[in-house]
Amino acid sequence: MGRIGIAALSALLLGANLSPAQAAEHYTGPIIDTHAHLRTNDGNGLSASHPIGTAELRALDQAAGVQQSALIVIARQGDMAATRALNDAAIAAAKADPQHFYVIASVHPADGDAALAELDRLAKLGVKVIKLHPNTQRFDVADPAVAKVTAKCGELGMAVLFDSFNPLDANELGKLLMLSLRQPKTNFIFAHMGFTQFRDVLTLSTLRKLGMGGNVWLDISAIGTAYAGSPVQPELVWTLRQHGVDHVLMGSDWPVDTPATAIAAVRALGLTADEERLVLHDNAAKLLGLN
């Protein structure tokens, strides 16, 4: 086939199949990053290279089109004064830029009634999301103390951002699924969507046919950047659609990824522009009562 033949054939294929305009169609409006970590002055953060404060993240958000961002802290066990101080530091950081940042505070389930009292205090201060991280905080998701914390969050109208991947506990995602089914009044956000175990999330889409599991949101931080462009990408997208793209949230997991990297991964998944709008903005706005 000569050159003209190839050109004519490719024009035909492009016209009939995927036009450049269609391929480039993306949601371009404001974005909410539902998973970004704060490193406070006392050093509570993800790593030694995690910048202290919000200035660096704010600049990255500006460049990436992120209009609002979470500021996550993670509580340690056994020192409620430190937990309160950590949460207050996060609240103060968000209050310094309230149009842009919102707080994801934390308690440690093993702190029992004191942790529940801290949830009361945080709810009164307007906190809407609580972070729990079984691996970092070293607790078992099946511990009854965890169920007390998540039930209390539901009573107070606070969602729980729950890390859902633990290389040390192969049953963790199953425990989390059961907890979310037992507590339909609590909104659970599965951070990283189970990561390499994401296939198990499909259990939820089956249960959603029976009216269950609508209280589970999937935060695709880390997993989006891990699998975008990979051989697994079609299955990841298929699983998101089975669960419901109206229950999927974008997160950067800053400083693990930058907001720009995480957003580029979402845009590389091959979602429609309407699906991107849900994932990058509308679902978070609805769940968290943000603009």
List residues binding Zn ion (CB under 5 A).
Answer: 253
Measuring CA to CA, how many Å separate 189 from each of 42, 54, 125, 230? 27, 23, 21, 24
Closest C-alpha among 128, 78, 135 to residue 107: 78
Q: Where would I find the beta strands (DSSP E) of 220-268?
A: 248-249
Give 27 or 101: the residue with its C-beta nearer to Zn ion.
101
Q: How far is the CB of 147 from Zn ion (least distance, A)?
A: 22
Give 223 or 236: the residue with its C-beta nearer to Zn ion.
223
Give 253 or 275: the residue with its C-beta nearer to Zn ion.
253
Q: How far is the CB of 219 from Zn ion (least distance, A)?
A: 9
Q: How far is the CB of 262 from Zn ion (least distance, A)?
A: 11
Q: How far is the CB of 72 from Zn ion (least distance, A)?
A: 6
Give the single-character DSSP code of 69: E
Measuring CA to CA, how many Å separate 116 from each of 35, 109, 181, 285? 23, 8, 21, 26
Closest C-alpha among 269, 291, 266 to residue 280: 266
Give 111 or 253: the residue with its C-beta nearer to Zn ion.
253
List all residues 6 or more positions away from 173 whose beta carbon is below 8 Å from its beta carbon: 164, 165, 190, 194, 197, 200, 201
**Residue 83 in contact with residue 116, Cβ under 8 Å?**
no
Q: How far is the CB of 259 from Zn ion (least distance, A)?
A: 13
Burial of 251 (0-12, 13-18, 19+ CB in 10 A): buried
Q: How far is the CB of 37 from Zn ion (least distance, A)?
A: 6
Give 118 or 253: the residue with its C-beta nearer to Zn ion.
253
Within 10 angstroms of residue 270's Cβ, the number of other Cβ atoms is 11
Give 21 or 48: the residue with its C-beta nearer to Zn ion.
48
**Minimal CB distance to Zn ion: which residue?**
253
